[in-house]
Amino acid sequence: MRHQPIRYSRYFALALLLIAPQAAAMDAVPPAATMREAMAQAVSPQAIAEYRRKLKEYQEARAAFEEEAGAYWNSITEKRRGRNAKRREHLAIGLDDYVLTQPPVYAGPKQPQNPEPEPARPPRERKYIPVVADLLKAASEHFQFAPQRPASEIEFKRAYARTALAAGLTREQAVRVYAFETGGNGNHDMQSGLEYSRQARAISTAIGYNQLLTTNSVELVAEQGREFVRALAEKAAQLSGAARGAMEHKIAVLKRMVALARSVPDEWAQHEKLGDTPQGWAIHAMVLDIDVGPLLQTHKLLTSVIFARAKGYTRPLSAAELEMMNLTGDSTGLDMVTMPQALREQVPTSNFFQRSGYERNPVAIRHNTVAKLLAITDSRMDSNGRLPGAKELAAAF
């Protein structure tokens, strides 16, 4: 806020009158500890006793709930292990292999507010989430590279459409997943939390048409990077002059990224750890590149299709089914996809989540069976698919 300059000739005397009482008042202010003691003395013994009684009731109710919830989520884990064991033995999975009740919901008293002053706690430090500018800076600093950005959004959409079709994805799968993930109007550099305003705060590193996380980019470069290099080499062979030189530089950078991504064990936790470094951010910057970005976006979905086929599921995945695998992971998502409709109507969505993830997912809580979750996913794909961005992507196919 800008302040107007004070005209001292007019206000100096008044300022002196105002400052003097304020200084005296400041001298009279007790230190924080003394103030807390004074406040504590102002709280009646009856209020403190009432608070402690309510706190005891709350703690007892909460402990009883945690015991019930703990048993429920343990049963979810045990049922999941049982299903996995049956799949390894190629045995049929039925209704009894799932928990059929909904998770318990806490309905006891709320935690009472302490009438006595408590020591001030420092604010919890938020983990920093890199944004596009950070990714570009990391790519420049660690790989001396800047992703080739599209001249327009339709250019990126056309590149994605060509790549997706060549890989075997259908227009319906690609467009409807895009509609769900981006809300129907997302750009190639859209980041979760910044969809509507660049002044907002990013809530994750998820970027692009299929909302890839840094971990996704690291994992895909580790597992599919050599195929990506071959695809770029084929493009380079058709170029000449400066364009070929730029492509060859990009290939050299990608090879270094592949080597880095493959330098850690091929495990999600290890890829996540690497993705949380500036070098991992640099790899993630490739999702913005007009040549590599469509490959990453396509293979994020294609790996789920390949996984399903490898497990013997040959029927084409609907876009909603593909999204379940995209959201929950291939193994968990396939568990839902292979479920007959009769079971989908009865099996709670909680069977496919860890407790912490479920309790942070209002969509899974509200649409609390597999059938309902797939239905709301389809419904959102329908509505978002009518927006300009989704229509433009569909036309690119």
Residue pLDDT, tens place only, 65-91: 999 999 999 999 999 999 999 988 989
Residue linked to tokens 């994020």: 300
Let me know whether 324 and 365 are in one domain.
yes
Q: Is residue 201 part of a domain?
A: yes
Tell me, what's the pLDDT at 117? 82
Q: Is residue 307 part of a domain?
A: yes
Q: How much is the pLDDT for 37?
A: 53
* Over residues 332-351, mean pLDDT: 92
Residue 331: pLDDT band by 50, 70, 90 thresholds? confident
Q: Is residue 218 part of a domain?
A: no
In this structure, are 13 and 64 located in the same domain?
yes
Task: Specify whether 78 is located in the same domain as 196.
Answer: no
Q: Is there a domain that residue 225 lies in?
A: no
Q: Does 357 fall in a domain?
A: yes
Is the pLDDT at 14 greater than 90? The verdict is no
Average pLDDT value for the chain: 88
Please count the structural domains in the chain: 2
**238 within some domain:** no
- Shared domain check, 337 and 197: yes
Coil, strand, or helix at residue 369?
strand
Judge contact between 161 and 393, C-beta under 8 A: yes
Q: Same domain, yes or no, for 139 and 93?
A: no
> Based on the domain organization, do 38 and 144 belong to the same domain?
no
pLDDT of residue 198: 63
CATH number of the domain encompassing residue 198: 1.10.530.10
- What percent of the chain shows pLDDT beyond 70? 89
Residue 33 shares a structural domain with residue 150: no
Indicate whether 11 pLDDT > 60: no
| Model pLDDT for residues 250-298, shown as the tens digit of each residue | 999 999 999 999 999 999 999 999 999 999 999 999 999 999 999 999 9
84-132 pLDDT, tens per residue?
999 889 899 999 999 999 999 999 999 999 988 878 888 888 889 999 9
What distance in Å separates the CA atoms of residue 49 and residue 206, rounded to the nearest whole number? 49
Helix axes 153-167, 388-396, angle to 10 degrees: 50
Whether 68 and 193 share a structural domain:
no
Mark whether 99 and 147 lie in a shared domain: no
Q: Let me know if residue 222 belongs to a domain.
A: no
Domain's final residue, options 60, 88, 118:
118
Write out the residue range of the structural domain in which residue 25 sits. 1-118
Which of 69, 90, 118 is the last residue in one of the domains? 118
Please indicate, yes or no, whether residues 105 and 152 belong to a single structural domain of this protein.
Answer: no
Residues in the chain: 397
| Gap between the Cα atoms of 119 and 104, Å rounded | 34
Residue 354 belongs to some domain of the structure: yes
Domain limit, last residue, from 87, 118, 149 = 118
More confident site: 13 or 342: 342
Does residue 205 share a domain with residue 109? no
pLDDT tens digits, 27-65: 444 454 454 455 555 788 898 999 999 999 999 999 999
197 in the same domain as 309:
yes
| pLDDT tops 80 at residue 312 | yes
Q: Is the pLDDT of residue 6 over 70?
A: no
DSSP letters spanning 263-330: TS-SSHHHHHHHHTSHHHHHHHGGGGSTTHHHHHHHHHHHHHHHHHHHTT--SPPPHHHHHHHHHH-H
**pLDDT attached to residue 344:** 95
